Structure 1
């Protein structure tokens, strides 16, 4: 994936300690304070999300599928995230008895529905890059550019699994070599979609169009899933794009053709044709064509350099990856 601003402005190290990578979830709705689902906000250090969910199921004496969470979090971090546990009749265990190694209970509250995947407003990140080697002026200029223009909204490497295991699973599934377990299928489908999206985004970065839109291209409202087709003669569109009010989009591949009739649609068809096994496999599974912004607003970006340490704080919407921001700033180990 090419960088949008000419390559990293320095080098450094991330995750030297879990506290160097802090993620705080922001729920996309208010809890009702009553209902059969116990919501727990946990602070986890060095814990895998799926493992914590299993521990909660054991604590509550419930099947694993009765535990919900909105998104997977990296184990090599300190994370604050929400879980829900179904407790029939509202009879839940005493939260004071919850004891999981590396996990601290911050708050809890009942609710009437299970926590579903993606049910987030976004995440706030507080990161420390240590061992920083960068020209101060160049780094400052890059940070200013990212704050003003955003970054390419690439899927991070974790979407593809360890050693791209999710992508290889999709490849074998679509080739008819195996049938994944039900709990593996979503990961495989997401990896295949992400591959095509990232390939389109790479082309748009290379030709400089990752933050622009031509007539006929679908554009999406910032912070919303709503999108519309850019029209010729829309004099307000360039200003809205520059203000990050709307963003150009790329495909989350599925059956049928991408919407729109601009140059972006032709590019997307050409890129998907490079991955026929994945494009046809996604369509065969009945997924519809969907859209994802090619550009990512980096909200409330703040930074501080102290010696060889760069401290960052910023917010991203649900489904965005902090690695998309880091790769435009420094090359990190």
Structure 2
């Protein structure tokens, strides 16, 4: 058993299931992403090749119908950047692909791919936020998940303490993370929405067949970061449930809300049909966010129960590592526990927990009791993820490591005209969130206002 974890300082963290920190030391405070260049993300390709203009040539190239290229973007999300490139090329955006989506409020470098376009046809720049640095032919398509992870260079400004005290706090937190085996590998803020973190709430309603509740949540719940016009429109609809009137005042940029309202004007009461007007990818995002929320709750209860992150206990699920990815899953029991923990200590395996779906096999022992408790509290079951009322959203489920352990972690505290600032650099494997690691160091009270 390990020491009782410290509670989060943030109401938002609690709402997203991220109830604890792995560390007890005071954070440094401060703000992330005050400028886009404060948050630099560099994709790490398979083979651990950094996707920078200097290093991407190590990936080789040759013949084939696919052109891969290095995409740099600033202050824009990946999907919007790809659509801009597609327009510049005069091709469908469906011909472009990436291995993973990158942060919008950041400077990011990543591989992208387009079919049937020669390297020489790619522009060097698209608008004032997108650049293409190098293009080369490959015989196969770049597909989601085809990466090792991401390297981060993060500047935290406006620290709450001076340089010396901030450096000491960071050192103490690093030592604590090393001692407990990493930070809890929560799904981060981006998974749930930044301005309106409610995708998991909608997902729960959809899973349970509560379509009117899903629609009401999506259309009328108000968050502080929204524009005055959006807040006014949501208040009007919540108080009147007048869809024709709402269509007149809902901002046109709220495409999903307007699509649902327009449908309900023509089909009153058909809330399931209204949800189906949304793109499949958006509806899948709702279910995925609820699965992420359940995982976060399980991980928080694991910490609360004093179970370790980097060591298995009886009943745990443990994944063998294979070329940086998760491989075969085994269950820890009394007879194999020592061997399993030796594999974990050597980096050849790690403790995982379920991201539940209809094919999920729950853990046993205390870890399994925690998973069952969370499902019962949320009034859902494994079988419900075979969504009979909307089968296209059904999900088999997966597993996810419980510990987030950064690689090549470095930091420096510097003095600036604005006060002390902290510079962090580290690499995370795919699917892990830099903001989840940074919350251990910053311990934000208001994650949204502090750039998380």
TM-score of the two chains, using structure 1 as the length reference:
0.90
2-structure distance, mates of 1:141, 1:240 = 28
Asked if the contact 1:219/1:246 (under 8 Å) is kept, the reply is: yes
- Please show how residues 112-131 of structure 1 align to structure 2 within 5 Å: 112-131=139-158
2: distance between equivalents of 1:266 and 1:68? Answer: 40
* Match of residue 28, structure 1, among 29, 42, 46: 46
Which residue matches 1:104?
Answer: 131
The answer to whether the 8 Å contact 2:66/2:138 transfers is: yes
- Matched pairs, number: 331
Give the Cα separation in 1 of the matches to 2:325 and 2:115.
30
Task: Classify the secondary structure of the residue corresponding to 1:33.
Answer: coil
Q: 1:129, 1:189 → 2: CA distance?
A: 33
1:272 aligns with 2:375: yes
Name whichever of 282-291 and 318-327 sits farther off: 282-291
Are 2:163 and 1:157 aligned? Answer: no
Contact 1:12–1:331 (8 Å) recurs in 2: no
Give the whole-Å Cα distance in 1 for the aligned partners of 2:158 and 2:366.
43
Post-superposition offset of 1:300 = 0.7
Matching residue of 2:412 = 304
Residue matched to 2:334: 232
1:146 aligned residue: 177
Residues of 2 paired with 1:65 and 1:96: CA distance? 18
Unpaired stretches in structure 1, ≥5 consecutive residues: none
Instruction: Tell me which residue corresponds to 1:194.
Output: 292
- Superposed CA deviations along residues 232-289 of structure 1, whole A, max 9, x for unmatched, are 2332444444555432211111115524433211211111122235855423244224
Q: Is the 8 A contact 1:258 1:268 kept in 2?
A: no
Separation in 2, partners of 1:312, 1:27 = 21
Distance 1:252 1:68, change over 3 A: same
Q: Distance in 2 between matches of 1:244 and 1:65?
A: 38
Contact 1:253-1:290 at 8 Å conserved across structures: yes
SS in 1 for 2:94: helix
Q: Which has the higher contact order (CA 8 A, sep 6+)?
A: 1
CA contact (8 A) 1:59 1:98 kept: no
1:137 maps to 168
**Inter-CA distance 237–256: structure 2 relative to 1 (3 Å threshold):** closer
- Cross-structure match for 1:263: 366
Distance 2:308 2:46 in 1: 28
Q: Is the 8 A contact 1:160 1:191 kept in 2?
A: yes
Quick check: 1:14 aligned with 2:35?
no
> Secondary structure at 2:377's aligned position in 1?
coil
Q: Which protein shows a greater Rg?
A: 2
TM-score (norm 2): 0.68
Which residue of 2 is the match for residue 328 of structure 1?
Answer: 440
Q: Distance in 2 between matches of 1:100 and 1:188?
A: 32
Distance in 1 separating the partners of 2:62 and 2:285: 32
Residue of structure 1 equivalent to 2:21 = 3
Q: Residues of 1 paired with 2:151 and 2:178: CA distance?
A: 15
Q: Deviations over 1:198-235 (max 9, x none)?
A: 00011112122141321231112353312321232332
**Structure 2: 5+ residue runs without aligned partners?**
1-17, 48-58, 212-270, 388-392, 445-449
Bigger proportion of residues as strand: 1
Match of 1:183 among 274, 281, 292: 281
Tell me which residue corresponds to 2:70: 41
Runs of 4+ in 1 over 6 A off after TM superposition: none
Higher helix share: 2
CA RMSD of aligned residues (A): 2.4
